[in-house]
Amino acid sequence: MRVPYNYLPMQFADTSAIFRDWESLIRSTEFTLGPVMEAFERKFADYVGVRHCVATNNGTDALILAYKSLGIGIGDEVITVCNTFYATVGAIVAVGATPVFVDCDDRYQIDAKKIESVITKRTKAIVPVHWGGASPDMHAIMDIAIGHNLPVIEDACMGIGGCIEGRSPGTFGRVNAVSMHPLKSLNVMGDGGMVVTNDDELATWMRKYRNHGMVDRDHIEFWGVNMRLQPLQAIVASHGLDDLSRVIAKRNNNAAYLDDRLRSLYHYVKLPRRLSGYVETFALYMLLVERRDDLLRFLIDHEIEAKIHYPTPLHLQQAAVELGYRKGSFPKAEYQAHHLLTLPIHQFVEREQLNYMVDTIQAFYGAC
């Protein structure tokens, strides 16, 4: 039985509704910004529960736009976690600032207790990541940030559809970044992203920066760039948003079932704690497992497309050499890099496939 990691062929099997909206967009020729984009931005802001959404090319641009809106640049330090996707950190470096890493906890999220000890006079912001579609302890992080008068910028790139005691990821920080890459819970046919904020002034600045700093066709107020989302993608995103609660419910169902069945394998497989009052998006369903690399090969051999996110934490990447970290700097992240495994549990994984995954994992450990 095959358990594919990639759900896109199934998600986009029927695109008739999207094509209908594309057709009217194409007739209108409103290909940059325009009413379709504005309608999507309004719809997304309402969904998340914030005042403003500024849609961008991708999640990386959303992070850069968020950092820039707060004036983060050369000489500034930005605190984030060392087990995230490259872009969280690449965007910090892109604005000229220096990333400062913190280790993660047993839920693979930034360890809030370790943030305070790395705050310096140069710290300009704290960037918690909703890693894998789960969330860190946002209340603790906000308390620290308020205590030190530092802004929080959430990397909510994987967080859309999640919930923290009634609030969406992306509603805690001053400006927060979202991605609509094909592998995120709300996805488009290619790249897309947005920044969400309740701050009117920052939203106005970001709208201009995203569009060359233009006030109107003939005048710019400052030097900006082009980071605009394409209206064609805004249409895809709008349809995705209509379907999102069903997708998240199915993934949560799958996760709960798998959690339950995997519990009997506790000698070999460790599940993260699931916090009550939190809904995860399960962008990544991750487990800590013994003999990870052997298990991964075994699963692949049995047509279960498991993955690793990621085998090398950021502080041990070639790109991070000049930051001066070394092996042993962040023991939790390093341990997880050797033991974490991601299983496919997306909205098209059915009960028999979940059972097949558990049976296969069981067979692997039973054979040793």
Ligand X SMILES: *Cc1c(COP(=O)(O)O)cnc(C)c1O
* Span of 54-62, 117-125, 197-205, 342-350 interacting with ligand X by CB under 6 A: 54-62
Closest chain position to ligand X (CB): 59
Nearer to ligand X, 63 or 354 (CB): 63
Nearer to ligand X, 127 or 316 (CB): 127
Candidate residues 129, 153, 195, 286; the one interacting with ligand X per rule CB under 6 A: 129
Sign of the C-alpha dihedral, residues 195, 111, 312, 122?
positive
Nearer to ligand X, 180 or 299 (CB): 180
Q: How far is CA 5 from CA 160, 183, 305, 339, in A?
A: 19, 10, 5, 19
Environment class of 263 (CB within 10 Å of its CB; exposed 0-12, middle 13-18, buried 19+): exposed
Nearer to ligand X, 56 or 197 (CB): 56
Candidate residues 83, 88, 342, 353; the one interacting with ligand X per rule CB under 6 A: 88
Q: Does 252 bind ligand X (CB under 6 A)?
A: no
* Span of 14-22, 74-82, 154-162, 240-248 interacting with ligand X by CB under 6 A: 154-162
Nearer to ligand X, 105 or 295 (CB): 105
Instruction: For the chain, give percent helix, strand, coil, nearest 5.
Output: 45, 15, 40
Q: Does 157 bind ligand X (CB under 6 A)?
A: yes
> Segment 177-216, which members bind ligand X (CB under 6 A)?
179, 181, 191, 193
User: Distance between CA 360 and CA 294 in Å, rounded?
Assistant: 13
Chain length of the chain: 368
* Residues 308, 341 contacting (CB under 8 angstroms): yes
User: Distance between CA 283 and CA 157 in Å, rounded?
Assistant: 10
User: Distance between CA 217 and CA 81 in Å, rounded?
Assistant: 41
Environment class of 318 (CB within 10 Å of its CB; exposed 0-12, middle 13-18, buried 19+): exposed
Q: Does 84 bind ligand X (CB under 6 A)?
A: yes
Cα angle 95, 97, 102 (rounded to 5 degrees) comes to: 125
* Span of 41-49, 56-64, 250-258, 352-360 interacting with ligand X by CB under 6 A: 56-64
Amino acid (1-letter code) at residue 120: T
Q: Say whether the peptide bond before residue 285 is cis (omega within 30 degrees of 0).
A: no
Candidate residues 45, 65, 66, 158; the one interacting with ligand X per rule CB under 6 A: 158
Nearer to ligand X, 125 or 361 (CB): 125
* Span of 39-47, 79-87, 106-114, 263-271 interacting with ligand X by CB under 6 A: 79-87
Candidate residues 60, 109, 135, 233; the one interacting with ligand X per rule CB under 6 A: 60
Q: Does 87 bind ligand X (CB under 6 A)?
A: yes
Contacts with ligand X by CB under 6 A lie at 58-60, 84-85, 87-88, 129, 155, 157-158, 179, 181, 191, 193
